[in-house]
Amino acid sequence: MDFTPTEEQEAARELAARILGDLATHERLAAAGSGTDAELWKALCAAGLPAAVEEIGLLGLVLLLEEQGRVTAQVPLAATGAYGLLAVARHGTAGQRDRLLPGLREGTAVATGAFPATGAVTATGTLTATGPEEPGRGRLTGGVGWVPWLRDATHVLVPDAERVLWLVRTEDAGVEPVELTAPWSAGRLVLDDTPAERLGRGPEAYEDVLAVARTAFAGLQAGVCAGSLARAVAYTSVREQFGRPLATRQAVQLRAADAYMDTEAIRVTAYEAAWRADTGRPGAAAALTAAWWASEAGKRVVHSGQHLHGGMGADLDHPVHRHFLWGRQLDAYLGGGTALLAELGDLLADPEPDPEADLEPVPTPEGESW
């Protein structure tokens, strides 16, 4: 495994860090409320960062999302990257790619996914496909309780009861505003015989998009945790108690060290899952592992970040509280550690096919195989 970013990935990460650092300030985030910062999203798109996702791959997207998470920037980058740009690029037909990708690259179109990353199918209905050679056309009926960034989206990716993916235009569906723990511009999706366009050729596309989404949101959680920890370190280094900075206290050091190790575990498992996806290796187990760390460890880290701020951490207007809200929302979105661990256990009991399992045995000089 080699997680060293390419020059293009590193350049994109540095550019994202600069733009987000300049524009995703505490004052602007507070003014944005629960909606998307349209000016920031426009700046990211003008810099070509969403457009670069296809070239820099899932690992590059994870790097961008880390920078977003550090400052809890309110833009639909994770949803558009996972459920739009990469989903269409990996599973769309030539016609779909030509029609959908330009708008997603420019930011004039925004995509999201109408299923939580736990693998639960949330929309059902009678679907009809037309034409075996072209993506089918069908209709969906059902509802999804909440979808991140749905209020910004022009397209939403919906799995049916058979785990077939369908792309729905939000203008054809019902969208009701929903307020979440984190300000993700979410909405409730209502489908009532809504026209839909099939994406991909079967459940394999669903499983791939699900793994990509889990990995992307785990990368976002790594950034949220890193930002929370950085704020805690800065605060405890200058806040004095009994004439000494809090950071000199062993209990504070141990709590911060545990949070650091948890953050690194989220990061490295997200990197591995992204690397496996980019190199065409089986990655469902790696994506589940990354999601589990992001859910379980992420929850611990944001609680530690708030706790290390003492009484200031209880202030709802303090910047660290935003990291706490994002961390808890990501835990809920990824499905919770218990559910993810159960799914991972089931997968390990029935593992993914080994692409090298059918290779012929290599004869040794003694005529034996190994």
Tokens of 1: 């495994």
Q: Is the pLDDT assigned to residue 214 strictly greater than 70? A: yes
CB-based burial label for 181 (10 Å; 0-12, 13-18, 19+): middle
Query: What pLDDT score was predicted for residue 253?
Result: 87
Percent of the chain past pLDDT 90, that is, above it, reads 65
**Per residue in 187-208, is it b (16+ CB within 10 Å) or e — as a string?**
bbbebeebebbbbbeeeebbbb
Longest dimension (CA), the chain: 76
The region of weakest confidence among 100-104, 230-234, 250-254 is 250-254
Q: Is the pLDDT assigned to residue 359 strictly greater than 60? A: no
Q: Is the pLDDT assigned to residue 292 strictly greater than 70? A: yes
Tokens of 136: 């089918």
